[in-house]
Structures are given as structure tokens and as C-alpha cells.
Structure 1
């Protein structure tokens, strides 16, 4: 049975200033394999990256027009949509914003670039194939196992994702001066194993609201060594989180922010 991806993050994309360097970095750090999509645009290819359970995203150069507008390297996430045009209109009416109107990507599907009420960017995508993608079970190596929103408007964003995508709220953890960390589930369950992410107020150290994606690795200390050896920068961690996992937040050599989740003492 194919997974219903509507309202859920399912594809992750790095736009970067140096795709080849980024491929090498994440290959070292996360263990991804890659291949050019379709083998067509050889002058400016889209590289599909795969973890242990199959493809999960892509790496590409920042488009010239976006670079001209000041775009810097960043990770974006695609949310499944049954009707991109209708969803873009609905989300805009609910307090979001359309950053790039719906258009087709030949051989891929239809997409739009959106912002939530607090200003964090995400994309909508309806694939051109009637088949969905299987969501990998558990925490397979290399895949995204946690989605974290640094929210520009905590209350509005929390209401927005719940009402528009059907996400459920789990436990809310008090972080003191940093506010609440609200656990959310894209699948509608409210117990801890069902949680797929968290929403927290934008920390004062961060310049803009954004979605941060956690890629699964094995031993977190070994992953930290790989990050620094490959030219990345660890911003925070390793720190323990509920459930026994350990996390870090980091930037890659081109400056895109990402995160890793792993364990202690496992090779």
C-alpha cells in the first residue's frame, strides 16, 4: 500500500552555491549516494540523493535569478498536495503567502513555494505519477526523522499547520526563556512514537524563521568528527533528547543549516 503524502513532508532539497562540494560533504557525513536526475541537464544537473531506504531528496545549484535576489544555500522541504493550486489559495487565505505561484516541473509534477504566517518557507508538490512514495519505517540511516520549525509567529504557525495540514499536537515542553517546544505529528497520532517534529519560537540568535531537518546517523560523536573533518561547523550539541537519541545542529561548508540525530556508543 502506498503512503498518502498529503500534508506531510516527504522530499528535501538543498539549493547550494557548490553542488559537487555539497554532494561530497553529505556523502561523507550522512552516507548518501547520488545520481543525476534523468541524466538530461548535464550542464546544471539535479542530483537525487538516497539514504539506506531509497531516495529522499535532491541537491542543485541555486538558480541564477534566486542568487541575484540574494538567496544563500538552504534546505527546503516539500509537503505533499492533492491539488497544488487549490492548496496554495487555501493556505494563503489562512495567513500563509504564495512566494512562487504553482507551475509544472516536466516529468516531476506541479509545485508552489509557500510561506507560513511566521515567514518560514516550504514547498507544495503533487507528483505527476499516480504512485506515491513509501515513507520509510522507523529511523533508517540517512533519512529525515525529525522536522523542526523555528517559528516567526509561534501561535499562528501552530494553528496554521494544525488546521491546514491536520497535524496533531503532542506534549509541549517548557524551555524557560526560549518558550514552549511543541511536539507535532504529521500523521495525526498524539503519543510520543507518533511525533515527527517540533515547533518552537525563533531564537534570537537566528536571523530568519526556517524549517530544520534532522538526518539520521549512527554514532553521533563519530558524525561530529565527520562534520568538522569535511569542513562543516557544529553550532550546537551533541545534546540528549527525549527517547534516548542525541542531536547536533550544524552548517555545511557552503553555509546551509542542517541537523543530525544519532545515538551514543554505536558504530
Structure 2
């Protein structure tokens, strides 16, 4: 499991509005997690839990941290991996801590500032969804501070390997990376107009245009128009009504 994305979490300013939005756009169901002392919503597709939803922590807006999706990567040992990350130039923003009955986690950033989380669950993991199943996260994309150093950092931390590399002309190289020989995402040096590096998550939907219509009617703003990608899938990038960046991917328009 070490190096596999296993959970996704939206921290936002209006959880009720966000819940209604993603239920409509992605087709998730939602329920309260029943965690003592905090409101935490679980998004599911069928029997599979996919993501969580919570209100942004106190002080985040004052620090100009916008609503955002956070990806959790499974590791064999949270403390050891956090130490290794820090030694490689990353930053541990929330030191390893336990979620009773769930697992241990840490909130971190890579050397260029892209945020993600480390996680080791208690007990056996639930059965995995197919990567491209509707409602799952089909692709993980890093707008990196620098592709070469970022890939070196993540490959040493998680064992990710290089798959295909696509020359994007003036935009540089788009490097697909794999976990256990399965392509799970891509990374590239971010364009200059993007102020900071970040991870972007692509939610699988059955047909893109219908999902875009649902997103727009729910208050989303399209930031990159629909485009076809190698392999024949279609993608779109957008911000939700609270301002969190997300993306959709579908096998057809």
C-alpha cells in the first residue's frame, strides 16, 4: 500500500453547500461520519467510501488558505515517512497524530509547497474500487514547482516510477507516474501564471458535458475548457462554489 492514494478530503467554508454540489456533480451519496466532537461528512459511491468533507480549521482563512481538496497517501510508517520527507526538504505542518479507531496521519507539503497527507489505517483496508469507476478519483495531477526535483522527491518517498512522458511544447514535459506499474497520475512544472504548486484530483463521471452542466448550474466556474487527452478520455478543470479547484474525467463527452 505504501505510495497509494487512498483518501481525499475537502476542507471548505460551507459544508452543506459543498455536500449538495458534489452529490449532484459526481453522484456521491453523503452521511455524517458520527465522529465525536466534530462534524465530518463521508462521500460514498455505492458501498465504497471515497472522500471526506469538513469545515476549514480556525485561522485558515486568516492565513489566506483557500478551500481545497487534500489527498492522503498510504505509508508503512507515518512517523518515519514524515521524518524522511522533512530530511528531503518537505515540511511537516501537522505532526503525526492518531484518529481513534481510524489511523495515524500527518499533513505535509513537498519542497515547493504542494500539500498532501500521509496516512496509515488501523486494521485491514476496505476493498478497492476500480481506478476508473464512476465516482472514484481516476487521476492525480501535480502542478509542480519544478518537475525534475519534484519527481525525484516523490519517487524516493513513495516508490513511484516514470511511465510515459509527453512533450507539451512551451509548457514543458508532462510526466506520467505509476504506482505498482499502474499509471495513476501526472506531473509537470507549473506555468508561471499559477502562483503556487498544488495537487489536482480528477473525479470520474460517466459523461463530461452532462456533469459540466450540473456543475455550472450548481455555481462552478470552468477554468480550463473540456479537452480530449491521450487514450480518448475527456477532462475539464473547475472551481466549486466555495473556490476549491477540482477536475472531472469521463470516457465520453
TM-score normalised by length of structure 2:
0.96
1:178 equivalent to 2:166? Answer no
State the match for 1:246 in structure 2.
234
Do 1:52 and 1:140's aligned partners in 2 also have CA atoms closer than 8 Å? no
Q: Which of 115, 124, 146 is the aligned partner of 2:118?
A: 124
* Deviates most, 174-183 or 130-139: 130-139
Q: Secondary structure at the match of 1:218?
A: coil
RMSD between superposed Cα atoms in Å: 1.4
Q: Secondary structure at the match of 1:140?
A: coil
Q: Which of 143, 146, 149 is the aligned partner of 1:153?
A: 146
* Deviates most, 83-92 or 62-71: 62-71
The structural deviation recorded for 1:39 is 5.4
State the match for 1:46 in structure 2.
40
Which consecutive residues of structure 1, in runs of 5 or more, have no partner in the other structure? none
Q: Which of 54, 57, 60 is the aligned partner of 1:66?
A: 60
1:115 equivalent to 2:109? Answer yes
Following the alignment from structure 2 to structure 1, what is the Cα–Cα distance between the partners of residues 153 and 126? 25
State the match for 2:17 in structure 1.
21
1:32 equivalent to 2:25? Answer no
Q: Secondary structure at the match of 1:196?
A: strand
Following the alignment from structure 2 to structure 1, what is the Cα–Cα distance between the partners of residues 15 and 216? 19
1:168-188 CA-to-partner distances (Å, cap 9, x unmatched) read: 10111011111100000122x
1:137-173 CA-to-partner distances (Å, cap 9, x unmatched) read: 2411111010000001211111111122110101110
1:258 equivalent to 2:252? Answer no
State the match for 2:207 in structure 1.
219
Number of aligned residues? 253
Following the alignment from structure 2 to structure 1, what is the Cα–Cα distance between the partners of residues 51 and 107? 16
Runs of 4+ in 1 over 4 A off after TM superposition: none
Following the alignment from structure 2 to structure 1, what is the Cα–Cα distance between the partners of residues 164 and 46? 30
1:52-74 CA-to-partner distances (Å, cap 9, x unmatched) read: 45101101000113333332100
Do 1:117 and 1:153's aligned partners in 2 also have CA atoms closer than 8 Å? no
Which consecutive residues of structure 2, in runs of 5 or more, have no partner in the other structure? none
The structural deviation recorded for 1:131 is 0.8
Following the alignment from structure 2 to structure 1, what is the Cα–Cα distance between the partners of residues 59 and 194? 25
Do 2:206 and 2:251's aligned partners in 1 also have CA atoms closer than 8 Å? yes
State the match for 1:136 in structure 2.
129
Following the alignment from structure 2 to structure 1, what is the Cα–Cα distance between the partners of residues 130 and 251? 18
The structural deviation recorded for 1:99 is 1.5
Following the alignment from structure 1 to structure 2, what is the Cα–Cα distance between the partners of residues 104 and 67? 25
Following the alignment from structure 1 to structure 2, what is the Cα–Cα distance between the partners of residues 51 and 76? 19
* Deviates most, 67-76 or 29-38: 67-76
State the match for 1:81 in structure 2.
75
Do 2:146 and 2:188's aligned partners in 1 also have CA atoms closer than 8 Å? no
1:202 equivalent to 2:190? Answer yes
1:80-120 CA-to-partner distances (Å, cap 9, x unmatched) read: 12211111001111222212211122222211111112210
1:12-61 CA-to-partner distances (Å, cap 9, x unmatched) read: 000000000000000110011011112544xx510010124510110100
